Amino acid sequence: MPLNPNIHKVMVIGSGPIVIGQAAEFDYAGTQACRSLREEGISVVRVNSNPATIMTDVETADAVYIEPLTLPFLEQVIARERPDGLLPSLGGQTGLNLAYKLAEAGILDKYNVRLLGTPLESIKKAEDRDLFKELMRQIGQPVPESAICNSLEEAQAFRDQIGYPLIIRPAYTLGGTGGGIAYNDAQLEQFTRSGLDRSLIHQILLERYLNGWKEVEYEVMRDANDTAITICNMENFDPMGVHTGDSIVVAPSQTLSDREYQMLRSASLDIIRSLGIEGGCNVQLALDPHSAQYYVIEVNPRVSRSSALASKATGYPIARVAAKIAIGFHLDEIPNAVTQKTLACFEPALDYCVVKIPRWPFDKFSTSDRRITTQMKATGEVMSIDRSFESALMKALRSLEIGVYGLRGKGTSLLSEMEIEEGLRTLTDERIFVITEALRRGMLVEEIHQISHIDRWFLWKLSRLIDMENKLRDSRGGKADELSPDLLRAAKKLGFNDHNLGELLGLKEEAVRARRKALGIVPAYKMVDTCAAEFEAETPYYYSCYETESE
Amino acid sequence: MQSPASSFSPGSSRQKVIIIGSGPIRIGQGIEFDYASVHCTRAVREMGYEAIVINNNPETVSTDFDESDRLYFEPLAFEDVMNVIERENPLGVVVQFGGQTAINLARPLTQAGVRILGTQFDSIDLAEDRERFDGLLIELNIPKPPGKAVTTVDAAIEVANGIGYPVLVRPSYVLGGRAMEIVYSEHDLRGYMQTAVDVSPAKPILVDRYIVGKEAEVDVICDGADCLLPGIMEHIERAGVHSGDSMAVYPPQTLSENVIRQITDYAIKMARALKVSGLMNIQYVVEGEQVYIIEVNPRASRTVPYLSKITGIPMVKVATQMMLGRTLKELGYTSGLHPAPDQVAVKAPVFSFQKLTGVDTDLSPEMKSTGEVMGVDNQFPRALYKAMVASGFDIPLPGQKNEQGELVGHGALLTTLANHNKEEGAPIVKGFAELGYKVYATEGTAQMLERHGVACEVVRKIREPEPNLMNLLAAPDVDFLINTPERERTPERDGLRMRRAAVEHGVPCLTSLDTAQALLTALRYQSQQRVVGVRPVHEYGLPDKEKLSML
């Protein structure tokens, strides 16, 4: 179906100020969506309270309001602009909640504004715990068993049904204190009591604890014609239990078998179809590393941080396509902006590895609790692209600007054996450096895996990097112009940078650089083209790698 | 220069400009710098050059591959940037818009013989190297607060004794006010020097007299000769609060003509002396009628998007044109301070304290906010009201009801003031009482308030038996908390606990009397006239309809 002819003016609500959990990704999505709508001759009205955004530039939209994001102010903007539609899915949770409240308060009906994109019913189904559970049950998708309990007896009854381990979360305590993970009766009793005690409404949520399970996300899109596609999947480096915004993430997934990949892909497509989403959606799943069992954890029925990452990782402009779908287009009617030759219904293909690492604010807040849990703490993130996980990880680490150029964190060499073990067990912003330090001290991949539950594949990759570190350190004391070309080439290919090489070899960065260039070891640049070079790309978007051929 | 194995030629007939982005979003370096990078990219393209962006943040508009001619998704370390430069062989590199990340590359790039567009590295160094900068101020006859850079504890104490306490201490070359503190005694100064910072000859500590004055800041666009000052922003909170954490108003509301003239003169003198080409930001402290310069940032600042929107001057675009050889005269701008429009803009910070457990919420010289909002209207109190509401201080007036006729708030506030500002705080609390808020206060504060004729209910302190003030916050039975911390280096544990409790129960907390006064002004206005209208950005520059109709 082409453009809906009744829509001339569309209002888009932004996500407001940058807070932890809602950063620049919604400026990116909002700006792209505005352009996408205006291309179709639609007039765009923008409201946001944050002026430090491109989306609030007068050039971006036809009318821009920098006003507080509360119902009284939004109603005034609606009354003044009289938009035909409201696109709710581009302003993060803030934008979605406001659209919801505007609808509930009858303001949208009063001014005859229709909600575009994913219907409100679908959003409700995705966000309401009980409705979502029920829908998943209907379509045969497994969700982790859970129960709301008001007493120890109720908690024990639930335990009798599903067994250990269980995670206990008190309802209504900010800061999440009082809960814990129970592996036995004594712990269940302890955490249930403390959880009930801390909860303002004397209530806890009990859920099956997916200890050591893999966390995988799929970014999927669907149009009103029920065509649904996968943009990409992503895998968390850290096992379940960490907010994805606080996890190191790789795209595409690296440790899944093809069968597992296909199984989770079909689940994600079934879910987006059953929810009736028109636009983009993020599906989070947990996969048992020891069997083919999986659970659906959560669905975000909107453009999100993950979709921004997926867009940049694949070159597929999710927000742009979601906006077109919202005004009536189908996936097979929207051209791919990168290749200009393919259509938006082609699933992107990746011939490289993407790594995202969160940027945490603990360098500023020395008193803050550095533990990483289900509550997001990162203010931002970096992404890198390379041919291998190792080199992409190395690039991402030095992109963080935390004074680290390689795999050695500040102060990790001073940790005791016990502190290392604790650091492997408890996730903090520094865990990656604790792992590399453990490997450096000769701890085995298997041992680290047993403590941290991080997939062995990732740990083997880190171990390869540490092997190279050791090899380089063995060459310490030599002259720069005697540096082995093979060693240098291999190190560069793994992502070691000149500064770090200098530290390891006992040479100046400039000396390493001079030798490297003299040997002709310079990066080639590859293109991100959404289709693994199957078609020619029109929009040049590059990453470096130490291979021979540039694109 | 290209990689030898490269078959790709990025060459085209157009000259190339590389724009360095700002990397991951962190406290102190937010979305504003992505905004600036995007506008620079667009300006470069408009001028007929090829714009090439290097950045690693997947969340942002600058890494949307539609924005530039070529995008390199790479770390912003010297080596990675240099590799791209060698491949592209650009006319020059822009480091002014990517925050401290980009400006820090000026030195190594200059040393590598790369042409920096805009202000040169020597000027950047002159502004950032404390000794050189002090010399420059003396030469230009611009006053600065007395103080010195020191490298030992004894020297710090000697300097402090010479200029008198309180002193403002901070490491030189820092971002976001990291480890900046106001110190009131020798004991605390010793503590700071020994525990808070690494002191070494390479890392001097600055010890300055702390001037309890107003702060103001200005952004300057300069072509090397002429200087355009789009506007002066006056901070609401007195000196001692990081500029990123203070509210600010444009145009200034309380600065005298004499002060404004000094600010303007110093800015122009400084811009010329530093041979600024592009943007520069200067921070001032004003004591009575005397203006001091406290900091110069030879790059685009956090306030650029605000001033660009409210003044209608596309600051980044103009600055980019300056860097590429145009002059202000050619573009039709006159030198000096741009006349203020009819609108008033108030910027307010937004924090993410709920997610950062253990972090104190008091305003201090160390930046803590993650984002900002702006309120714009034709009168200061209205703009202030909008900024307050948008930043989360949506405080209902006593007796205010919603559409269903239910009371919205509690009509009450809780206050506990530090000894040094009980006297100053009393009239402000009295103002809230006059608006009808019930006042709860701890004993000492209550005594002072009663002396000022404010009726209040005494509540017990944290350590006293329940019910105490924690119950008021937990319920919550108050709409907001005014709590000013004592002047000690280590925050009193009780104060910290109370502020954290406020955060966790969603009770807005004010820790500066200046913010409290601003809230009072806004609510007072709101109590007289409830309707505050909305206006689109493109009407900011137009003469105000209301004022016209009053003529």
pLDDT tens digits along A129-180: 889 999 999 999 999 999 999 999 999 999 999 999 998 888 766 445 667 8
State the nearest Cα–Cα gap between B239 and chain A, in angstroms.
Answer: 20
Residue A80 has pLDDT above 50, yes or no: yes
A498 chain-B contacts, CB cut-off 8 A: 79
Looking at domain B214-341, its CATH class is alpha beta
Cβ(B233)–Cβ(B307) below 8 Å: yes
Cβ(B319)–Cβ(B119) below 8 Å: no
Q: What pLDDT digit, counting tens, does each position of B334-355 carry?
A: 999 999 988 999 999 999 998 8
Element of type H or E holding A188: helix A185-198
Could you tell me the domains of chain A? 9-116 (3.40.50.20), 145-208 (3.30.1490.20), 214-358 (3.30.470.20), 407-474 (1.10.1030.10)
Closest CA to A24 of A308, A426, A445: A308
Record: contact A361-B354, CB cut-off 8 A:
no
Chain A, residues 82-141, CB within 8 A of chain B, namely: 105
Predicted pLDDT at B264:
98
Predicted pLDDT at B550:
40
Record: contact A35-B66, CB cut-off 8 A:
yes
Cα four-point dihedral sign A93, A94, A95, A98: positive
- What's the pLDDT band for B329 if we cut at 50, 70, 90? very high
Where does A45-105 have alpha helices with state H?
A: 71-81, 92-104
Predicted pLDDT at A361:
93
Q: Is A497 an 8 Å CB contact of chain B? A: yes
Residue B548 has pLDDT above 60, yes or no: no
Give me the mean pLDDT over the B175-203 stretch.
Answer: 78
CA atoms lying within 13 Å on the CB side of residue A551: 20
**What is the distance between the alpha carbons of residues B324 and A494, in angstroms, rounded to a whole number?**
39
User: How far from chain centre, in Å, is Cα A84?
Assistant: 33
Among A24, A68, A369, whose Cβ lies nearest the Cβ of B34? Answer: A24
Record: contact A25-B59, CB cut-off 8 A:
yes
Residue B374 has pLDDT above 70, yes or no: yes
Residue identified by tokens 């051209």 is: A335
- What's the pLDDT band for B173 if we cut at 50, 70, 90? low
CB pairs under 8 A between A and B: 299
Q: Give domain B392-527's CATH architecture.
A: 3-Layer(aba) Sandwich (3.40)
Give me the mean pLDDT over the B72-83 stretch.
Answer: 98
Structure tokens at A296: 């659906």
Cβ(B228)–Cβ(B328) below 8 Å: yes
β B116-117/B70-73 pair status? unpaired
Cβ(A502)–Cβ(A405) below 8 Å: no
Chain A, residues 225-284, CB within 8 A of chain B, namely: none
Chain A, residues 299-358, CB within 8 A of chain B, namely: 305, 308-309, 311-313, 315, 317, 337-338, 356
Q: Is A399 an 8 Å CB contact of chain B? A: yes
State the nearest Cα–Cα gap between B114 and chain A, in angstroms.
Answer: 15
CA atoms lying within 13 Å on the CB side of residue B479: 24
Give me the mean pLDDT over the B178-194 stretch.
Answer: 86
Closest CA to A495 of A515, A529, A523, A517: A523
Q: Is A549 an 8 Å CB contact of chain B? A: yes
Predicted pLDDT at A197:
80
The amino acid occupying position A336 is N
Closest CA to B137 of B297, B292, B258: B292
Of B479 and B194, the structure prediction assigns the larger pLDDT to: B479
β A9-13/A43-48 pair status? parallel
Cβ(B282)–Cβ(B222) below 8 Å: no
Record: contact B537-A498, CB cut-off 8 A:
no
**What is the distance between the alpha carbons of residues A200 and A171, in angstroms, rounded to a whole number?**
7
- What's the pLDDT band for B44 if we cut at 50, 70, 90? very high
Cβ(B135)–Cβ(B282) below 8 Å: no
Predicted pLDDT at A476:
92
Among B375, B386, B536, whose Cβ lies nearest the Cβ of A64? Answer: B536
User: Would you list the domain boundaries of chain B?
Assistant: 16-117, 146-209, 214-341, 392-527
Record: contact B394-A522, CB cut-off 8 A:
no
**What is the distance between the alpha carbons of residues A397 and A382, in angstroms, rounded to a whole number?**
8
pTM value is 0.94
Record: contact B534-A73, CB cut-off 8 A:
yes
Cβ(A447)–Cβ(A372) below 8 Å: no
State the nearest Cα–Cα gap between B162 and chain A, in angstroms.
Answer: 31
Among A57, A65, A549, whose Cβ lies nearest the Cβ of B7? Answer: A549
Record: contact B372-A54, CB cut-off 8 A:
no
For B374, the 3-state DSSP assignment is strand
Q: How far is CA B272 from CA B119, B243, B336, in A?
A: 11, 24, 13
Listed in sequence order, the residues at least 6 apart from A370 whose beta carbon sits closer than 8 Å to its beta carbon are: A360, A362, A428, A429, A430
Predicted pLDDT at A177:
60
Predicted pLDDT at B2:
36
Cβ(B346)–Cβ(B379) below 8 Å: no
Q: Is A523 an 8 Å CB contact of chain B? A: yes
Chain A, residues 35-54, CB within 8 A of chain B, namely: 35, 49-54
Among A69, A77, A379, whose Cβ lies nearest the Cβ of B27? Answer: A379
Predicted pLDDT at B549:
43
Among B25, B59, B176, whose Cβ lies nearest the Cβ of A308? Answer: B59
State the nearest Cα–Cα gap between B303 and chain A, in angstroms.
Answer: 8
Q: Is A533 an 8 Å CB contact of chain B? A: no
Among A313, A369, A497, whose Cβ lies nearest the Cβ of B79? Answer: A497
Predicted pLDDT at B532:
80
Predicted pLDDT at B341:
87
Q: Is A520 an 8 Å CB contact of chain B? A: yes
Give me the mean pLDDT over the B383-401 stretch.
Answer: 94
Q: What pLDDT digit, counting tens, does each position of B493-522 carry?
A: 889 999 999 998 889 999 999 999 999 999
For helices A456-474 and A445-452, the axis angle rounded to 10 degrees is 140
State the nearest Cα–Cα gap between A52 and chain B, in angstroms.
Answer: 5
Among A66, A365, A544, whose Cβ lies nearest the Cβ of B376? Answer: A66
Cβ(B320)–Cβ(B300) below 8 Å: no
Record: contact A368-B356, CB cut-off 8 A:
yes
Residue length, chain A?
551
For helices A431-440 and A456-474, the axis angle rounded to 10 degrees is 60
- Best probe of the A interface among B356, B384, B402, by most A CBs < 10 A, is B356
A58 chain-B contacts, CB cut-off 8 A: 537-538
Q: Which long-range contacts (CB under 8 A, 24 or more apart) does B178-183 make?
A: B178/A363, B178/A364, B178/B28, B178/B366, B179/B366, B180/B242, B180/B364, B180/B365, B180/B366, B181/B364, B181/B365, B181/B366, B181/B489, B182/B210, B182/B240, B182/B364, B182/B365, B182/B487, B183/B489
Q: Is A550 an 8 Å CB contact of chain B? A: yes
Among B3, B359, B538, whose Cβ lies nearest the Cβ of A365? Answer: B359
- Could you please state the CATH topology (level 3) that the domain comprising B146-209 is classified under: Dna Ligase; domain 1 (3.30.1490)
What DSSP letter does each residue of B475-499 carry, written as one string?
TT--SEEEE---S-SSPPHHHHHHH
Q: Does the fold of domain B392-527 match that of domain B16-117?
A: yes
Among A50, A380, A405, whose Cβ lies nearest the Cβ of B57? Answer: A380
Residue identified by tokens 């990081």 is: B242
Listed in sequence order, the residues at least 6 apart from A312 whose beta carbon sits closer than 8 Å to its beta carbon are: A383, B58, B63, B73
For B336, the 3-state DSSP assignment is strand
A405 chain-B contacts, CB cut-off 8 A: 77
**What is the distance between the alpha carbons of residues A470 and B86, in angstroms, rounded to a whole number?**
31
**What is the distance between the alpha carbons of residues A397 and A401, in angstroms, rounded to a whole number?**
8
How large is the ipTM? 0.94
Q: What percent of chain B has pLDDT over 90?
A: 77
Mean pLDDT of chain B: 91
Listed in sequence order, the residues at least 6 apart from B466 whose beta carbon sits closer than 8 Å to its beta carbon are: B460
State the nearest Cα–Cα gap between A450 and chain B, in angstroms.
Answer: 29
Record: contact B34-A25, CB cut-off 8 A:
no
Predicted pLDDT at A535:
64
Predicted pLDDT at A194:
85
**What is the distance between the alpha carbons of residues A66 and B387, in angstroms, rounded to a whole number?**
10
Cα four-point dihedral sign B66, B72, B74, B77: negative
Structure tokens at B106: 């000026």
Give me the mean pLDDT over the A208-230 stretch.
Answer: 95
Record: contact A68-B356, CB cut-off 8 A:
no
Cβ neighbours of B394 (radius 10 Å) = 16
Give me the mean pLDDT over the B51-63 stretch.
Answer: 97
Q: What pLDDT digit, counting tens, does each position of A399-424 carry?
A: 999 999 999 998 899 999 999 999 99
State the nearest Cα–Cα gap between A2 and chain B, in angstroms.
Answer: 24
* B16-117 carries CATH number 3.40.50.2000: no
State the nearest Cα–Cα gap between A67 and chain B, in angstroms.
Answer: 6
Record: contact A398-B77, CB cut-off 8 A:
yes
Among B38, B371, B535, whose Cβ lies nearest the Cβ of A50? Answer: B371
- What's the pLDDT band for B129 if we cut at 50, 70, 90? confident
Of A509 and A348, the structure prediction assigns the larger pLDDT to: A509
Record: contact A401-B306, CB cut-off 8 A:
no
Q: Is A63 an 8 Å CB contact of chain B? A: yes
Closest chain B residue to the Cα of A398, Cα to Cα = B75
Q: Which burial class, exposed, middle or buried, applies to A428 when counting CB atoms under 10 A from its CB (0-12, 13-18, 19+)? A: middle
Of A231 and A339, the structure prediction assigns the larger pLDDT to: A231
**What is the distance between the alpha carbons of residues A540 and A550, in angstroms, rounded to a whole number?**
12
**What is the distance between the alpha carbons of residues B197 and B264, in angstroms, rounded to a whole number?**
35
A377 chain-B contacts, CB cut-off 8 A: 355-356
Q: What percent of chain A has pLDDT over 90?
A: 76
Closest chain A residue to the Cα of B312, Cα to Cα = A58
